[in-house]
Chain A
Amino acid sequence: MIEVKNVNKSFDGNHVLKNVSAIFEDGKTNMIIGASGSGKTVLMKSIIGLHRIDSGKIEYDGRNLPDMRMKDIRILRREVGMLFQGSALFDSMTVLENVMYPLEMFSKADKTEMEERARYCLKHVDLKEKSYNLAPSEISGGMQKRVAIARAIALQPKYLFCDEPNSGLDPKTSLIIDRLIHDITVEFNITTIINSHDMNSVMEIGENIIFINKGIKAWQGNKNDIFHVDNKDLNDFVFASELYKKVKHTNS
């Protein structure tokens, strides 16, 4: 479980996060949603420790990140997997080498065991064996996301962060990636935090949704609650399209 308490973050006098508190639970797909510039990426980067917060607490199962020394943060990060918006695969390595990389850095297993684990992870994300020896640039965006998920789970993380996992993907592939993230979260009982503004994802896997508006946590609930909320900012954001207005109308 990750608990965020009264987090504040400013950049050059611009107060981006204002007293944000939230709980991200184990085995659930926790989503941070909000419009562009609302502060959701800053919140996620602060939780991971890529931004140093001005005040507040970020507790990973009781371990407060801002109090940790860099050495301890590095150790904690070995329990973290992350799926980046652009996949962030190492382009000097093949698909298989990308997934083996965290194992080679941190596991004591021999090469055969590492390769077995990497192949298991790639199989788990439904990636065909013929692509294992290809470079990331030689596979599609959807496949790159799968490889990134496989790399993120290679070391059996306790926490998984996904930054806009569906960006640049077609709706069908997005759905597959969403379900994959959800299944992995449940199967391995991971604390997953997804940063998204894709409403399809929210409706599909939003088990714990946090809405950030102008740096403030404006709402928290799940995908079922979202239809019955009387929050104008949230409704304007979630039900912006005609399609979702109709969905809301039908549901409420």
Chain B
Amino acid sequence: MNIFEDAGRYTLLMRRVLVFPDRWKMFFRQFPKELEKLGLQSLPIVIIISIFIGAIMTIQTKLNTENPLLPTYSTGLVTRDTLLLEFSSTILCLILAGKIGSNIASEIGTMRITEQIDALEIMGVNSANYLILPKIAAFVFTMPFLVIFSMAVGLFGGYLVGVFSDVITTADYLLGIQYAFIPYYVLYSLVKSLVFAFIISSVAAYYGYYASGGALDVGKASTNAVVNSSILILFFNLLITNLMLN
């Protein structure tokens, strides 16, 4: 299938998804479940990755900027800006594209091949809206919190390097992460995360919704969802960065 056919089908699917639910009661029953599944259950991986990356980034930045001309606070500053600008939004979303994308694509794909989606359609339910909208809404709603959480935990990871090693002093690190802080970077990161959250959930839902065949095809749908949403994330990262930072 070519890219234009995929884009067309994706657009048509989104037209069915992004409408008011048949029954708000059913939407609000699904929404908290999705918040828990897509948001809360992602917290452990966000914590683990952010704390380690924060720590590693601090060590590497320090080792690569061993220059008496550079101020001592520069390690904290670079760590903070890298976390804010790129890691906690883009890299975190690329990782979550694997976790959340495969989860959504395989769940909806399994419903497709076991005829559960056909059953919804036969009942007269807008299956795309009923199944996909709560997932997109929940993930887009959760993502900014995950990003802010990742920033905080990542910075804490760098702080731990100061506490448990002699790579950097905690005083230098704390000064660095506060120095020349630009709040706009947080806004930029949050805007990116919202777009990426929509891409991850909608692209994964698209591949799951149009899965056909058997278990093997659900696996393929999951893989396609992860690969294509990752490519789209990188593309939109470039686009948004150009628009907001250039």
Give Cα distance in the complex from A88 to B119, angstroms.
Answer: 7
Q: Which residues of A are found within 8 Å of B23, using beta-carbon distances?
A: 104-105
A48 close to chain B: CB less than 8 A: yes
B22 close to chain A: CB less than 8 A: yes
Give Cα distance in the complex from A190 to B25, angstroms.
Answer: 30
B194 close to chain A: CB less than 8 A: no
Q: Which of B78-86, B110-118, B197-205 contacts A (4 or more CB under 8 A)?
A: B110-118
Task: Give the residue name and chain of the B residue nearest to A73 (CB).
Answer: B124
Task: Give the residue name and chain of the B residue nearest to A163 (CB).
Answer: B115
Knowing A104-B26, A105-B22, A105-B26 are in contact, say whether A78-B114 is a contact too (CB < 8 A).
no
Which of A73, A82, A104 is within 8 Å of B119, CB to CB?
A82
Q: Which residues of A are found within 8 Å of B245, using beta-carbon distances?
A: none
Q: Give chain B's interface residue range (CB within 8 Å of chain A).
A: 10 to 19
Q: Which residues of B are found within 8 Å of A80, using beta-carbon distances?
A: 122-124
Give Cα distance in the complex from A74 to B123, angstroms.
Answer: 8
Which of B25, B121, B124, B126 is within 8 Å of A104, CB to CB?
B25
Which residues of A are interface residues toward B (Cβ below 8 A)? 48, 50, 73-78, 80-82, 84-86, 88-91, 101-102, 104-106, 155, 161
Chosen A-B contacts, 27 in total, with CB atoms closer than 8 Å, are: A48-B122, A50-B118, A73-B124, A74-B126, A75-B124, A76-B124, A77-B124, A78-B123, A78-B124, A80-B124, A82-B118, A84-B118, A84-B119, A86-B114, A86-B115, A88-B115, A88-B116, A88-B118, A91-B114, A101-B123, A102-B123, A104-B23, A104-B25, A105-B23, A105-B123, A105-B124, A161-B122
New A-B contacts (14) at CB < 8 Å, excluding given A74-B126, A84-B119, A106-B123? A50-B121, A50-B122, A73-B124, A74-B125, A76-B124, A77-B124, A81-B122, A84-B115, A86-B115, A88-B118, A101-B123, A104-B25, A105-B22, A105-B23
